[in-house]
Amino acid sequence: MAEFTMELSDEQREVRDWIHGFAADVIRPAAAEWDEREETPWPVIQEAAKVGIYSLDFYAQQFFDPTGLGIPMAMEELFWGDAGIALSIVGTGLAAIGVVANGTEEQVGTWIPQMYGDANDVKVAAFCSSEPDAGSDVGAMRTRAVYDQAKDEWVLNGTKTWATNGGIANVHIVVAVVDPDLGSKGHASFIVPPNTPGLSQGQKFKKHGIRASHTAEVVLEDVRVPGSCLLGGKDKLDERLARARERARAGGGERVKNAAMATFEASRPAVGAMAVGTARAAYEVALDYAKTRTQFGRPIIDNQGVAFQLADMRTQIDAARLLVWRASWMATTGKAFTSAEGSMSKLFASETAKKVTAQAVQILGGNGFTREYPVERMHRDAAIYTIFEGTSEIQRLVIARTLSGMPIR
């Protein structure tokens, strides 16, 4: 029997330390500036491309780490640097996951390189699922895709919202309804190539946190894409829709996953790792502050009220990391999420990030409430983890349904 170990390999530690160095030397010094500017940090993304962090090869290497820990380690270190800039660096990954999860080998080979560009001409991509009236309720999606058989083209109409890199992306991945009668099972994902007529950026959002990451609406008006831009191909879609219709007639049966959910299930542990990185960063600032800040003639960490908070913060961070690592390992080794372990990892890590960053602000007191110290920004950034890619309430619903086998609402 193979020996059980939780030790990282020499290669994994080397990669982790390399990413940490980039986060410390390049991301952190730029964090406050780009948070204030509320603009995409193109120079930082380009630096990441130059050293190989923003590239298809880098993410492929981490994705194929046989332990499953490559992606969560990378996410934790980048988001330890700064959440807004890190999301600008990794935001393309959600669109890439959408292609990998739903596309053919030819589509993966054709479109993912165009999502990243190269160090001399950096590109980004966007995954467009949420809508003004369809966030957690994907069944309420209104964006339609209609097949024009004569031209072998799909015609897309609708409005997407909360799209990371929406409108500025080179490639957009759009989830749309192809069969309204099937609800969320009647969805499909489409590649919208660069400079496609009819796609435009709507409102750009001014956000509470992760302000260095571009978030906007994407408007689709008679957007025509070739039939080859349907992820997975039409034969596969027709087979999936036929199964869904048969099960609907039979009154239920085995669940059929839709395109958006397949993407989110693959990415939830990675989002948990992002939250761990932000939480760890805030904890480290608070720990250092508590050891150097003196009140009543002694460091404030000498007070149990502060020391016990730090003990709880570190315990929760380590527990969150272990849940993320477990889910990532299970996904890589083909273990089914029989207890919704992916959702568990995202739920616990995101809630931990909100709590730990709030405690960090409290430990720094008035200083923590100012922008002179980074915990204020980290606290704002942490709020997103319990919202995007499935709110905490949705994660609890997924977990409860999985554990009970009941259609809990």
Name residue 72's beta-bridge partners: none
- What is d(CA 59, CA 43) in angstroms, rounded to the nearest whole number? 20
- What is d(CA 236, CA 77) in angstroms, rounded to the nearest whole number? 38
DSSP per residue, 234-296: HHHHHHHHHHHHHHHHHT--S----HHHHHHHHHHHHHHHHHHHHHHHHHHHHHHHHHH-EET
SS3 call for 390: coil
- What is d(CA 99, CA 263) in angstroms, rounded to the nearest whole number? 9
- What is d(CA 154, CA 52) in angstroms, rounded to the nearest whole number? 36
Backbone torsion region of residue 230, taken as left when φ is above 0, otherwise alpha when ψ lies between -120 and 50, otherwise beta: beta
Distances (CA, A) of 163 to 31, 77, 263, 289, 335: 21, 24, 14, 37, 31
Task: Tell how far CA 216 is from the center of its chain.
Answer: 16
Amino acid at 110: T
The answer to whether the beta carbons of residues 272 and 323 sit under 8 Å apart is: yes
The answer to whether the beta carbons of residues 371 and 377 sit under 8 Å apart is: yes
Rounded to 5°, angle at Cα 396 from 394 and 397: 60
Of 3, 106, 389, 393, the catalytic one is 389
User: Is 389 labeled as catalytic in the residue annotation?
Assistant: yes
- What is d(CA 240, CA 260) in angstroms, rounded to the nearest whole number? 14
- What is d(CA 10, CA 375) in angstroms, rounded to the nearest whole number? 32
Burial (0-12, 13-18, 19+ Cβ within 10 Å), 64: exposed
How crowded is residue 36: how many other Cβ atoms within 10 Å of its Cβ?
12
Amino acid at 132: P
Q: Catalytic residue positions? A: 389
